[in-house]
Amino acid sequence: MSTVQAQPAPLVEEAPVSLWRDAWYRLKRNRLAIFGLGVIILLAFVALFGPYLTPYDFLSQDLEARNQAPSLAHLFGTDDLGRDVFSRVVYGTRTAFVVAVVVTAIALVIGTVLGAVAGFFGNPFDRVIMWLTDVTMSVPNLLLVVVINASLKTPIAQWMEARYLETLNPFYRETVWIDFLLVFGSMALISWPPYARLVRAQVLSIRSRPYITAAQALGLSNRIILMRYVIPNALGPLIVAVSAGLGTAMVLESAFSFLGVGVNPPTPSWGNMISDGLRVWQHYPHLLAAPAAVLGLASVAFSFLGDGLNDALNPRGSK
């Protein structure tokens, strides 16, 4: 019986640094990314606590004070109905964030699951899922949203009306959430393919790495290997994609609302505010400038953060 003695080998004696903390150090050194992160945190705060921050209700009209230029009383002025533009932009932030977060979350879950299954289990799943992805991507997204709006909105509204008359339940009187539901649904439906493709590509490359074979040699089930070995290793690029995706979803929501197929008035959205402002911008430029500037800022912030995350999480990819 020989005993097994500890044979000390050289070790780096320092507190364990996790991969995520490492990435955070790199991110912190990127000023643009931190600027982006700051703006996003500020906007998220505004989105969460907006109603407590604004001096006016976003719907309250003051017909005595219409189309006023920015002043201390109304930071961004007032619109053609005398509503406080600042309050409306703040509420629009909430709309933008809710739509962006919910849509990205739905798209992410659908995309990750489908992509992981396609990549990990291979054919025939791969073929079917990739076919589905291609079909989805081939549909012009604006057209799809218009079609969904045109075909579903009226029947749902009518059904709600009928239910209200039948039950007199005030729940059926509230139609704002139909907008949201349609916007969420239609946008999620067109937003998942990029995530599915990204995750599939990641999984395909990870699947052939030795640590996956090692995990199989340990007798772990496919589900555990997928959840704890494959997906966490695919997370880096996915986080970057999500950051970019949130920005895109915000812009998309504004674009749809601008065209009148997204969130409809009186619910404020940056998009429909820009649309309103565009008609009178020669006389009241602040009505266009305020929502447009905030939309631009948000979009740029997500871009910067996405870039910074990309560099931080893929240190080998950047120089």
Positions touching another protein (CB under 8 A) are: 1-12, 16-19, 122, 208-211, 213-221, 224, 228-229, 232-233, 235
Dist CA 310 CA 319 (whole Å): 12
* Beta-bridge mates of residue 276: none
User: Running DSSP on this structure, what letter comes out for residue 139?
Assistant: S
Minimum CB separation from another protein for residue 129, in Å? 18
263, 272 in Cβ contact below 8 A?
Answer: yes
In which element (H, E) is residue 257 found?
A: helix 231-259
Which is nearest to 92 in space by CA: 58, 143, 56? 58
Q: How far is the CB of 229 from another protein (least distance, A)?
A: 5
Residue 234 or 298: the one with the smaller Cβ distance to another protein is 234
- Judge contact between 246 and 105, C-beta under 8 A: no
**What number of helices (H) and strands (E) belong to the chain?**
11, 0
**For residues 98 and 239, which CB has a smaller minimum distance to another protein in the complex?**
239
Which residue's CB is nearer to another protein, number 192 or number 229? 229
Q: How far is the CB of 7 from another protein (least distance, A)?
A: 5
Nearest CB to another protein, comparing residues 240 and 294 = 240
- Rounded Cα–Cα distance for residues 266 and 89 (Å): 13
Cα torsion 240, 245, 246, 251: sign? positive
Closest to another protein by CB, 15 or 72: 15
User: How far apart are alpha carbons 289 and 261 in whole angstroms?
Assistant: 22
Pick the closer one to another protein by CB: 223 or 319.
223
Quote the tokens at residue 296: 């631009």
CB of 277 to another protein, least distance (A): 47
Our CB check for another protein shows the closer of 83 and 200 to be 200
Shortest Å distance, C-beta 42 to another protein: 31
> What is the rounded distance in angstroms from the CA atom of residue 78 to the CA atom of residue 66?
6
Least distance in angstroms from the C-beta of 220 to another protein: 6
CA 61 to chain centre: 31
